[in-house]
Amino acid sequence: MAARHSIHLANTHERYTCAESQDILRAMEVLGRKGIPVGCRGGGCGICKVRITHGPYEIRKMSRAFVSECDEDSGVVLACRVFPRGDLHLDALDVLARCVERKAKIGAP
């Protein structure tokens, strides 16, 4: 069985788990967060941009149109192309941030 890691989403202070064989966007969707946009899932549309602030991960090929080498060096990646290798802390950016934060406010008491 694949190792599972804890992913901390700083925007909403939520945690979810993700297997090493699963990308962190797909794992986020499994939680039933309907506010999460569904894009290409292949690193080509840029809708799932996040900044990893802590923890080890492996990335697969992403479009340079959305993530420059400089961005990547600062932890900015496309969540659909990121596979955790330990517990991660991340900030959703741009479109993904607006979606997860809006959902969190709707669900707030």
**Contacts to ligand FES by CB under 6 A:** 25, 39-41, 43-48, 78, 80
Copy the structure tokens of residue 60: 């697969």
Nearer to ligand FES, 25 or 108 (CB): 25
Q: Looking at this protein, which amino acid is placed at residue 67?
A: V
Kindly state the smallest distance separating residue 14's Cβ from ligand FES, in Å.
Answer: 19
Nearer to ligand FES, 80 or 90 (CB): 80
Q: By three-state DSSP, how is residue 63 classified?
A: coil
Kindly state the smallest distance separating residue 64's Cβ from ligand FES, in Å.
Answer: 12
User: How far, in Å, CA of 109 to CA of 106, rounded?
Assistant: 8
Strands (E), 10-70: 14-19, 49-54, 57-59
Nearer to ligand FES, 19 or 95 (CB): 95
